[in-house]
Amino acid sequence: MRNKLGLLGAALIVALATPLPAAAQTRVPDAGMWGLGFKAGVSMPFDDALSTAFDMGVSLEGYVTPRVSIRGQVAGTWFDIKGRPFGGTVSPMAMTGNVVYNWELGKWHPFATGGLGVYRVRFDENDLNSSDTKLGVDFGGGMEYFFTRRDVLMGEATVHFIGDDRVTSARSDYESRYWTILGGYKRYF
């Protein structure tokens, strides 16, 4: 009986020490991987004549190393005009390219990001439509939480600086800087 218990104990130790296929898989993210994400949240303008608004976007990231990725993103927001003698909306559409650096802390991956973009701002002021296009930069950071090996929930805060800090419509001009606070989902493949 003792030999059987000893043999069973040895088999249990060997079984626990043997790596399972899931443990032998490569890290996520890793060089050569891609991430496709969707984010939504709020935009907060620096201009008092614009109201806080809904923001959403989609991104595609390519990983150069496990820690560094290049991200392309398209996002848009719709600010309502307030406190002016006319109503309407100011709607920036951002097409940005960023470098993202992430730190690995188990299931949690904090990250920092910064990049350049083209911002096309559309204005609808009492049915007078116009637009302004400028180059800009954005900086921010956030956190990813891996709830499966390749699926993450994420949060991100970013500040956008557009052109010379003003955008001009056919009727007026506005402070162009704004913050975004977004949450979303990303899938690695």
Each residue of 38-92: pLDDT tens digit? 999 999 999 999 999 999 999 999 999 999 999 999 999 999 999 999 999 999 9
Q: Which residues pair with 39 in a beta bridge?
A: 57, 184
* Six token digits for residue 144: 């990813």
Each residue of 14-43: pLDDT tens digit? 444 444 444 445 789 999 999 999 999 999
* Six token digits for residue 29: 């993210």
Single-letter amino acid code for the residue at 7: L
- Residue 117 has a pLDDT of 98
% the chain with pLDDT above 90:
84
CA atoms within 13 A on the CB side of 12: 6
* Six token digits for residue 61: 């990231």
Residue 116 and residue 161: Cα distance in Å, rounded? 10
What residues contact 4, with CB distance under 8 A and at least 6 apart? Answer: none
Each residue of 103-127: pLDDT tens digit? 999 999 999 999 999 999 999 999 8
| CB contact burial 75-91 (16+ within 10 A = b; e otherwise) | bbbbbebeeeeeebbbb
Whether the per-residue pLDDT at 181 is higher than 80: the answer is yes
Residue 115 and residue 96: Cα distance in Å, rounded? 7
- DSSP string across 2-58: HHHHHHHHHHHHHHHHSPPTTTTSPPSS-TT-EEEEEEEEEEEESSTTB--EEEEEE
